[in-house]
Amino acid sequence: MAQALQGTANHGHAWFAWRQTAGKGSRGKSWNAADGQNIILSVLLSPSPLISAYSFYLSAAVALAVYDFFKSFAGDETTIKWPNDIYWRDRKAAGILVENNIRGNTWQWAVAGMGVNINQTAFNPSLSNPVSLKQITGKTYDVIAMAKILCGCLQIRYQQMQQNKESILEDYNAALYKKGEMVKLKKNNAVFSCTIKGVNAFGQLEIVDAPLSQVEFGEVEWVIK
């Protein structure tokens, strides 16, 4: 982001890290990755022609890119867990964090940070449900080559977003984790059951059979055993 603001980086520039010492996750959490074993990638994106009110379309396009990438190796049990995780079965395979630079009414840049578990097989015990591609397939991968494949997936979904943003939301919902199923969510230490209906254009999770019909990002937590 600093390089974008300084004019030394442009749309499409990507940074790959072999080692990460202060990885960011959503909601102020950290992202932990073993050195040299996973994809740790940041890509600078121009949000044009979107306006900031519809920033979720860009986040959804990035999520779909990582979903496409992981599914191509891990298979159909890959899903997108709202709002920004990639799951295989009930286990987390990748995390996404999109940071935006907005000045006034102008959305200037977005940096899409993607962490994908590739070759790591031993995880911090504090992580409840991680999984890597190697654990799923039994194969070891060239992480640089894999990152380049991921960039290709991102290019495809970014172009789709520019041409038809509504189709991005349709595809996102088609890949949504637990869609149509009863799940448990927690809000303010109270756990309630609901059925996942989908995600709307503003990134709100729409639910039924619950005290409320929509939830904002950060308003609830998933209860997954």
pLDDT(113) > 80: yes
- Which has more confidence, 33 or 185? 185
Alpha helices (H) along 53-132: 56-74
For residue 189, give both structure tokens.
Answer: 């230490």
Query: Chain-wide mean pLDDT for the chain?
Result: 92
With cut-offs at 50, 70 and 90, classify the pLDDT of residue 35: confident
Q: What is the CATH number of domain 2-174?
A: 3.30.930.10
**Cα dist from 97 to 42, 114, 162, whole Å:** 9, 7, 20
Nearest Cα to Cα of residue 45 among 71, 13, 75: 13
**Residues 6+ positions from 4 with CB-CB distance below 8 Å:** 10, 44, 101, 108, 109, 111
Domain boundaries, the chain: 2-174, 182-222
Give the pLDDT confidence of 138-194 residue by residue, as tens digits. Answer: 999 999 999 999 999 999 999 999 999 999 999 999 999 999 999 999 998 889 999
Give the pLDDT of residue 32.
67
Terminal alpha carbon distance of the chain: 37
With cut-offs at 50, 70 and 90, classify the pLDDT of residue 23: low
Give the least confident one: 78-82, 100-104, 110-114, 121-125.
100-104
With cut-offs at 50, 70 and 90, classify the pLDDT of residue 56: very high
Give the pLDDT of residue 31.
62
pLDDT(88) > 90: yes
Give the pLDDT confidence of 62-81 residue by residue, as tens digits. Answer: 999 999 999 999 999 999 99
For residue 96, give both structure tokens.
Answer: 């996404």
